[in-house]
Amino acid sequence: MINRFVQKSFSFDPLQLTPITIMAGVPTVLAVRANLPAKSVGELVAYAKQQKGGLNYGSQGPGSTSHLSAVLFQNLTGIPMVHVPYKGSAPALADLVGGNIDLMFDNLGSALPLHRTGQIRILGVGTAARAPALPDTPTIEEQGLRGYRSSAWFALVAPPRTETAIADKIAGDVADILKMEDVRGRLTSLGLEPLANGRIRTAEIIAAESKQWEAVVQAAKLPKE
């Protein structure tokens, strides 16, 4: 969905696909190196403003969700930050653990094991509600950044003009599967939240997030690659 805003050539319009359902979602989290003194989003902002040249943050690469989540954070806080792009989450998280970068926005599933072992520290969650896997960690919005939203989700879509009855039937089958305790348990263990939103709600989420991230890309004046 974001790719069409950051790539020069894109072969299709995701908004023309027929939405079926979002199967599961995973919050984006704000993680910092273990020895960074800030213990909250507010403390991080205050600390960043005291640093000459600002903080540096890693990402999965230019135009990635990780990158744009940091851009959104920077837009809302006004703090100076330097982008250090990587080729994926793994090398960025490795440098965060090593203290070579100050912070990173990544999905909960990747960051949670490192947070639990104390190798990094998660300061906030990017969804509207707290993550069940981190009930004591407040959302970024709870900590003063009104309107901050960032998460990843996994949706089923079909070709354009797929019959509504077919889309609804598949969505219903997925909802039944996601009610199974073993399926829910497995997804939860990976930091995912089972959703099964259905066709109409999925279409609303796709449209809303498309609009949100297009505005972030335009505000950041990111060149298309």
Q: What is the pLDDT along the chain (225 residues), one digit of tens a residue?
A: 676 776 666 677 778 899 999 999 999 999 999 999 999 999 999 999 998 888 999 999 988 899 999 999 999 999 989 999 999 999 999 999 999 999 999 999 899 999 999 999 999 999 999 998 899 999 999 999 998 999 989 999 999 999 999 999 999 999 999 999 999 988 888 878 899 999 999 999 988 888 888 888 887 777 766
- In this structure, the answer to whether residues 43 and 120 fall within a common structural domain is yes
- In this structure, the answer to whether residues 79 and 160 fall within a common structural domain is no
Assess if residue 54 is contained within a domain: yes
Q: What is the CATH number of the domain that holds 194?
A: 3.40.190.150
Q: Helix 164-178 and helix 199-220: axis angle, to 10°?
A: 90
Q: What is the CATH number of the domain that holds 116?
A: 3.40.190.10
Distance (Å, whole) CA 52 – CA 37:
16
- Domain of residue 38: give its range: 29-125
- In this structure, the answer to whether residues 88 and 173 fall within a common structural domain is no
Question: 21, exposed or middle or buried, with CB in 10 Å at 0-12, 13-18, 19+?
Answer: buried
Assess if residue 209 is contained within a domain: yes
- In this structure, the answer to whether residues 121 and 34 fall within a common structural domain is yes
Assess if residue 35 is contained within a domain: yes
Place of tokens 């889309």: 167
- In this structure, the answer to whether residues 48 and 101 fall within a common structural domain is yes
Please report the pLDDT score of residue 3 as a whole number.
66
Q: How far is CA 137 from the centre of its chain?
A: 16
Please report the pLDDT score of residue 1 as a whole number.
60
Question: Which of 125, 142, 167 corresponds to the end of one domain?
Answer: 125
Assign 108 to helix, strand or coil. helix
pTM, rounded to two decimals = 0.86
**Domains: count for the chain:** 2
Assess if residue 45 is contained within a domain: yes
Q: How far is CA 146 from the centre of its chain?
A: 16
Check: CB of residue 10 under 8 Å from CB of residue 3.
yes
Distance (Å, whole) CA 34 – CA 29:
15
Question: Which of 90, 125, 160 corresponds to the end of one domain?
Answer: 125
Assess if residue 10 is contained within a domain: no
Question: Which of 125, 159, 180 corresponds to the end of one domain?
Answer: 125
Distance (Å, whole) CA 222 – CA 159:
30
- In this structure, the answer to whether residues 42 and 121 fall within a common structural domain is yes
Assess if residue 134 is contained within a domain: no
Assess if residue 139 is contained within a domain: no
- In this structure, the answer to whether residues 208 and 172 fall within a common structural domain is yes
Residue 190 DSSP class: T
- In this structure, the answer to whether residues 105 and 163 fall within a common structural domain is no
Assess if residue 1 is contained within a domain: no
Please report the pLDDT score of residue 110 as a whole number.
92
